[in-house]
Chains A and B, each alone.
Chain A
């Protein structure tokens, strides 16, 4: 993992930006969601972007989708299209950056990199938008020049809206190049850059899908309606967890949690096991919003909710939920910007639902702090990707707003391991702020929903 540094001075940033030219970007897999979204982003900052896909028609579809996504016909004036068979070598030879956004399949990517490696200039950067494959494994066995210029640049979907971006250096990536890409993506592409280690699912998806999957597990017994009410916006997120899984797609969810479950063994391993009910329903074609429904579905103006046992749907309004008036009381406090008081009300709320909500939040905070040193060098990196990639209250923000003492007892009550950093902050009793990003308004994470 690259060492994290204090953010470079404006003059250092200028020096870095002047150290290389990015005038031509070639996007591979430009018809996919991440492909055209990233390509559109590059056209803002780079004179020429080439959209490549299996066929020229598919590349043109990607260009049309990019234009639609950012609502500017000027994307086309910076862009060219082509297919792999006829245009790949000629385009890659001229590229300053080759950006790979193919399907998440190791063999397919490897095959493509064979061709890129032969065609690329020695100084061309090769980036991959992979969210699950290992950067080091993808670079394995390639030339020195390729390995020095290869890195992961993980945009979140849709990249024109979500700015959080993970930057993953391989073990042989040139550190100066990593600094350059970070400055370029931050200043020219408007990204919130977060350096992470080359660990399964990197930082954001590792922490985020742990929480999402835990919600999916709880839904097996409690039902989706109650789970999304319990882990609702008042716990520090704009979109509720099961609605998020529906939006992301159950297949993507499964790919991420299966990968993490298989390749890691941490203190919260069990929460990363895909619920059997999801696997069963996926066999029957349920993949979330893209198949017309997941945990939730729309029927005209009506919102329906899944009965996990039967696979049937019924109107959300017919589901009887327990009294959770504490949620409204918290929302009223958030609406006036009284976030500390809202959090105190959350910690003090009585009943099984509030206790369960605290357990999930405690699990999130505990899991994130325990990943420091593994997925990222400091909690700040995990905070920024959770805040600007997932739009969730970063773990440190929750700790700051409730206070380290209260955070420690919440984690203890949930029967989860207390991170050392929190234990010592609670013990010292001195005021300490964990969240150190002056330009991110923490209030935005406390949605009064």
Chain B
């Protein structure tokens, strides 16, 4: 441990100052734009934004889809992570590799694939026609379902990885012991697995939730203007409507949601290290 304070600052400050100039200043200015009214400071931009029923709907839809994607990822994530953890070491490594693989691929490409699957002449529609379930193609694209699937595909790996490392720290005998003592699977999950892997679930959940809130490509391609989310609404407000106060309000909402999720995560992490 070195004690020269001037040296320490000389090393650490460039990075901090850089982040401040590139991030804090412009983003701060953008946020303050939403707090200016005709006569000085005011919340009128916020009042105006939320008095629009469509904006309320988009705000709630963004939250709803974020929560749905997170909850679904958690359920699927536990089942998958449990299956992976109970495998022999070599296979386990390969399975984790396969789960991580999609994260290396451009989100543009990953979202694009869903058009091939869900489009008018896509795989799902052709299959339905072949089986004779429909004559006319069903519209899947530009629905909440399409956005939901796209987001889930994008962020599920993060949840699985978090839960795999949490489950690996579970004492090996805990689950068999509970089973021998007569607990059913639901009891084992609620009383043993859930409390012991809570932190992994929270880390994964925060990553999936903030990821879903702040994803742009998926709602843009799979939702379009029919299923606007906060990110795509922000883009539209700037490029189509040139409504900067509204853009500032949306920016605030996105930052606030992302910040709260991160603070929650950090608080839980420090509560853990403190005990």
Is chain B found bound to chain A in the same assembly?
no
Chain B residues in the interface with A (C-beta under 8 A): none
